[in-house]
């Protein structure tokens, strides 16, 4: 049996003995031990686990620790993680949407239809390319809370500086807001190695080379490198290369030497390749992305905004929106804000306007109206999934007219970018009203907020009018604009006939 098959077999033997994939809450490893977080400790079969040839012992602490030895544990852990993920996926099959026959369409029916569409979309998006994009998103999504927090602090600091308030505090706020962005490459490297099955700290160590001040002394292609050159794209590539080198070492280096040789070779090979190749190339790509975004909006303006705002929700449905996350992060790292996110946020405004039109058109369908009312406020705050999967997408035409609202809102914001007023966001993640604290631009907060707010209004109004006028056919209104029949449990019991006593 090859080493790779041996380690896979070890992971496969351990998993059922610790209660299966559903019982595992976390997986990590140290120098010698596989460390597991477990839902229910009583499901573990200790004696059978200890009897496995590859297991040297078990230790019970805050985590359940299985001693596999140096070298072996680093090879078994990624196999175990893959089995856990596969087990969880198999344990949660998608349920088909129920058939409601000729009964009036209710919010429950739309929700079931939306869930079925979501499951179909997930299955359809499981192509190698889209799975790769999903992995890229998994690298950046955990960074969003820090981007939001630091972005809000940066916005507050900019406001205080412009107003000349609290001059003794603003340098401290600037340091608080900028510290994470100065080291974001390290976090990207850590998450990249973790996502692609390497050792996270090695990914962070390799990526930290990019932000080290001493790289200014390194000359490549006749030019000195600059600290931070290549940014998050360079960190992503460097850490991925480190994972490839590490996996190659794990396959070839004897287990007795693994703990010394593998980390050293990984850092050395990936580090030198980063310095003498990746930093320069990634720096050129990052510069090109920034220049392309500026050119697109300064020349394309309203047209580019129309396409971006109108097509964003279909991109989400296809799983392709995740390709934009590294682009946003690169723009934030270079210019301090991304000019694309406020335009894409207009797609949510179109959804809100469409939902209000659905509420007005279906005056007799209390069930769907109740769903719209409950999902509308999250929609205003940029949480669009309840409206998409609970209202517009199952209805069909309102989803298309909602995209029209996003297109016109995006065109409005894009037009102002073309006229010289940049509207950007200092972080990714929020949209709708939640994006206001993160807005930034080149003409001060007042004009930036005004343009973004006006864009939202355009999206709301256009989405409403398009849906009200074109979102329903006569047949749809006949089917949908009816009062749903009460369910059996809500139907009142028949009154008992009174018996007159003579």
Catalytic residues: 30
Residues 6+ apart with CB under 8 A from 294: 339
Taking a C-beta distance cutoff of 8 angstroms, is the pair 313, 406 a contact? yes
Cα–Cα distance for residue pair 464/357, rounded to 1 Å: 5
Enumerate the β-bridge partners of residue 360.
none
Enumerate the β-bridge partners of residue 338.
425
H-type helices in 319-440, by residue range? 324-335, 340-344, 346-361, 366-380, 385-387, 393-395, 397-418
Taking a C-beta distance cutoff of 8 angstroms, is the pair 185, 231 a contact? yes
Residues 6+ apart with CB under 8 A from 83: 11, 12, 15, 21
DSSP 229: T
Enumerate the β-bridge partners of residue 36.
27, 64
Enumerate the β-bridge partners of residue 34.
29, 66
Cα–Cα distance for residue pair 207/187, rounded to 1 Å: 8
Number of H helices, E strands in the chain: 22, 8
Cα–Cα distance for residue pair 374/383, rounded to 1 Å: 12
Residues 6+ apart with CB under 8 A from 100: 106, 109
Cα–Cα distance for residue pair 188/186, rounded to 1 Å: 5
Cα–Cα distance for residue pair 439/152, rounded to 1 Å: 9
The string over 81-100, giving b where at least 16 C-beta atoms fall within 10 Å of a residue's C-beta and e elsewhere, is bebbeebeeeeeeeeebeee
| Other CB atoms within 10 Å distance of the CB of residue 222 | 5
């Amino acid at each position: 049996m090859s080493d790779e098959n041996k380690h896979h077999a070890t992971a496969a033997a351990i998993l059922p003995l610790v209660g299966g994939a559903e019982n595992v809450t976390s997986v990590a490893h140290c120098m010698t031990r596989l460390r597991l977080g477990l839902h229910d400790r009583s499901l573990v079969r200790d004696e059978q686990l200890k009897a496995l040839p590859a297991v040297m012992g078990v230790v019970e602490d805050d985590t359940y620790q299985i001693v596999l030895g140096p070298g072996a544990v680093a090879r078994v852990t990624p196999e175990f993680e893959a089995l856990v993920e596969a087990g969880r996926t198999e344990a949660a099959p998608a349920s088909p949407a129920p058939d409601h026959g000729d009964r009036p369409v209710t919010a429950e029916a739309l929700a079931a239809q939306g869930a079925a569409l979501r499951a179909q979309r997930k299955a359809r998006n499981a192509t190698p390319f889209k799975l790769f994009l999903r992995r890229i998103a998994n690298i950046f999504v955990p960074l969003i809370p820090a981007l939001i927090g630091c972005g809000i602090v940066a916005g507050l600091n900019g406001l205080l500086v412009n107003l000349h308030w609290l001059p003794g505090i603003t340098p401290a706020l600037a340091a608080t807001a900028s510290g994470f962005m100065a080291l974001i490459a390290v976090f990207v490297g850590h998450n990249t190695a973790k996502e692609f099955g390497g050792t996270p700290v090695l990914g962070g160590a390799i990526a930290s080379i990019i932000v080290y001040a001493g790289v200014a002394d390194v000359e490549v292609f006749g030019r000195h490198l600059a600290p931070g050159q290549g940014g998050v794209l360079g960190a992503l590539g460097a850490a991925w290369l480190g994972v490839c080198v590490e996996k190659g070492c794990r396959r070839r280096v004897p287990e007795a030497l693994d703990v010394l040789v593998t980390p050293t070779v990984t850092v050395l090979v990936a580090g030198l390749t980063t310095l003498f190749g990746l930093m320069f190339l990634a720096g050129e790509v990052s510069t090109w992305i920034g220049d392309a975004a500026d050119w697109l909006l300064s020349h394309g303006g309203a047209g580019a905004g129309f396409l971006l705002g109108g097509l964003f929700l279909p991109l989400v449905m296809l799983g392709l929106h995740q390709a934009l996350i590294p682009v946003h992060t690169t723009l934030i790292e270079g210019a301090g804000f991304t000019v694309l996110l406020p335009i894409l946020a207009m797609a949510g405004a179109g959804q809100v306007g469409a939902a209000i039109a659905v509420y007005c058109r279906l005056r007799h369908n209390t069930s769907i109206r109740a769903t719209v009312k409950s999902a509308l406020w999250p929609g205003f705050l940029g949480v669009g999934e309840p409206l998409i999967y609970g209202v517009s997408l199952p209805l069909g035409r309102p989803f298309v007219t909602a995209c029209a609202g996003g297109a016109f809102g995006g065109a409005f914001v894009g037009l102002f970018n073309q006229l010289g007023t940049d509207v950007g966001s200092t972080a990714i993640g929020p949209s709708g009203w939640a994006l206001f604290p993160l807005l930034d631009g080149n003409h001060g907060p007042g004009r930036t907020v005004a343009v973004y707010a006006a864009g939202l209004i355009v999206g709301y109004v256009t989405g409403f009018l398009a849906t009200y006028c074109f979102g329903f056919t006569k047949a749809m209104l006949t089917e949908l604009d009816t009062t749903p029949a009460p369910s059996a449990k809500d139907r009142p019991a028949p009154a008992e006939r009174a018996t007159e006593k003579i």
